[in-house]
Chains A and B, each alone.
Chain A
Amino acid sequence: MSGLVTLRVARGASWALYELEATEGMTVLDALETLRGSRDPDLRYRHSCHHGSCGTCGARVNGKETLMCLERLDALGPGPVLVEPLRKMGAVGDVAVDPSPLFASLPEGSGYLRASGLEHGGPVEEGDGRGYRRFEACIECGCCVSACPVEGKAFSGPAALAMADRDREERPEREAAALAFAARPDGVEACDSAFACSRACPQGVAPGRRIRRLKASLEDRAEG
């Protein structure tokens, strides 16, 4: 898609309609930035890093959860581009949400650094002695939570359970805490195994697979 693009942006129960000239490589976030900067200072959306690392610009574009900063207009089909806020978050307005429900769901004390996985011919100099480190793949964007079809029952959600599983993998001393988190009534038992989370994750975290791993560990423990 290039040339003139129509954006339908959620505004309360209705929509705000915009037309703009898409430049080459323009993302949905670039389009909102252009609109806010030139035409509509009231337009609200969250954004920070613009390269898929912070996780603030999660939204539903044409009905699918995505990061607006990575969603190029030329990769979307013809017709108006629908931009809506993530589900299951607090409301601010337009595309902007309050991500408090997501952050409140995460298991307390989860680490965020992990082994980098790259091969090197020697140790990192003057580090903390734990070797080469990198951040977790999960960017806490909430796309998985928004896509999850589980409704009407308490559920800690795919982001929280995936983080618990990653945490115990990286830090074996957290195994018991992670399994206790997964075993709560709102834990893995509340998951309907729809795997919408894994399809929605922009980072390949595959929360559905992580929930399955937690379930298997809990079953092993029950049998053992």
Chain B
Amino acid sequence: MNTEAFPRGSPKPNGPRVCVIGGGGTGAALAYDLSLRGLRVVLLEKGELTSGTTGRHHGQLHSGARYALGDRAIARECYEETLILRRIVPEAIEYNGGFFIAIGEEEAELAPRFVAACLEAGIPAREIPAARALELEPGMNPALSRAVWVPDGTFDAWRLPLAFFAAARALGAEIRAWTEVLGLDRSGGRVVAARVLDRSREPFREELVEADYFVSATGAWAGKVGALAGLDVPITPAPGAMLAARGRLVDRVVSRLRPAGDGDIMVPQRGLSIIGSTQSVTDSPDAILPAPGDRDFLAGAGAELVPAFGAAPVHAVWAAARPLAGRSSDEGRSISRDFAALDHEERDGVAGMATIIGGKATVLRAMAEKAADLVAAKLGVEAPCRTARYALPSWREYYGRKA
């Protein structure tokens, strides 16, 4: 598909009004998608934009290879989305590819099945002789016995979503950071208004935000926000810790050739090398900090992928809450990384509201498309999704050149 110039100077949307709750990557892409379809958008975020899970992502632009053995459909979608993002927001992506490396016999035996699964999902993975892979990426563990090239990359977890916010605002969307939803009012079986506390200036003000439709794009907070409307939203906040070491040790993303687990991905980004991640489950996604032991575990796991990582100075250790769709009593890896747009009218008999659950950063645009399709159908709007067509404005426009 060709990439067209961003449609500046489009007429201001004058369709029905949609309130998007949540200022992370999904909310950003949704506000943009709805604005392109001619809907009026107000987005509410309780803190600063991307201050929840989105920005804390290690930044892997997933080719989908990591999911190929488990779920071909998710893998295929990841690859389609990486190709779109590389077209529409290239300045926020370090695209250098990636290697899956096998250390030990068990992982080596997995290589043919892994490559076949990637190819079935449309991901152009291919095995590279181990010696050649080490020439191409000399920082990798020389004990690797097999290496598979995949089209992975790194994105800037703040700048990429902010480009979507810049696009949404340029089309007239009202983006309200520092505005927390305290309640969702129902009338006649329908969500009709959000009661909000606006902390963007003093004195703080309580206010009623009315809209024709509400979408909760609140990730790991979706359970809390759903409860404000009396809805039971099945979401499991799953904290994961990551560690960044100083020094760019490789240019490609380096992953372990084994079923997805803890500490098996190294993502280079700027002058850092980031190892992720651990996974646990929790009740509350607020104020997530790393657990004792995460630092040592991650430093050791990183050194298995890239030996120099073990001696590199630690830059930061942090954690974020993934939004896993569904409920789990184990550590959460068994929950799919798929996403869904829950129609609360169909599911709970409460009209006027949907919740996006699950998903992952790489597929933010696809998540928004699915949710916006639902919103458009509910409101009788026929405009199709066009977010894959246009190059996004620079993230710098969001703050620098206000519409």
Contact = CB atoms under 8 A, between A and B. Distances in A.
A50 B399 contact: no
Interface string B271-313: 1101000000000001101101001000000000000000000
Contact of A34 (B94, B251, B289): B289
Interface in A109-162: 111-113, 116-122, 124-128, 132-137, 139-140
B318 A51 contact: yes
B97 A124 contact: yes
A135 B156 contact: yes
Interface size class, chain B? 35 or more
B8 interface: no
B157 A53 contact: yes
B96 A93 contact: no
Contacts of A37: 286-287
Interface in A16-41: 23-27, 30, 33-34, 36-38, 41
Interface size class, chain A? 35 or more
Contacts, number: 177
Contacts of A116: 94, 96, 248, 251
Nearest to A117: B248
B138 A102 contact: no
B178 interface: yes
Given A69-B318, A124-B251, A48 B56 contact: yes
A112 B269 contact: no
B316 interface: yes
Contacts of A128: 90, 95
A203 B138 CA distance: 25
Interface in B46-98: 47-51, 54-56, 59, 90-92, 94-97
Contact of B199 (A42, A54, A117, A121): A42
A4 interface: no
B91 A111 contact: yes
Interface string B95-128: 1110000000000000000000000000010000
Nearest to A98: B399
B95 A127 contact: yes
Contact of A100 (B51, B54, B91, B402): B402
Contacts of A203: 271
A66 interface: no
Contact of A47 (B48, B200, B248, B401): B48
B289 A33 contact: yes
B396 interface: yes
Contact of A103 (B287, B289, B317, B400): B400
Interface string B167-179: 0000000000010
Contacts of B135: 120-122
B34 to A, nearest CB: 23
Given A49-B157, A53-B156, A127-B95, A70 B268 contact: no
B237 interface: no
A120 B316 CA distance: 27
26 contacts: A24-B292, A25-B295, A26-B289, A30-B289, A34-B287, A38-B287, A44-B178, A45-B48, A47-B47, A49-B55, A51-B244, A51-B316, A52-B244, A53-B157, A54-B50, A56-B48, A70-B315, A103-B397, A117-B248, A120-B138, A120-B251, A124-B95, A126-B124, A132-B251, A135-B269, A135-B270
Interface of A: 12, 23-27, 30, 33-34, 36-38, 41-42, 44-56, 69-70, 92-93, 96, 98-100, 102-104, 106, 111-113, 116-122, 124-128, 132-137, 139-140, 203
Listed from nearest, the 4 A-B pairs whose CB atoms lie closest are A48-B55, A37-B287, A121-B135, A103-B400
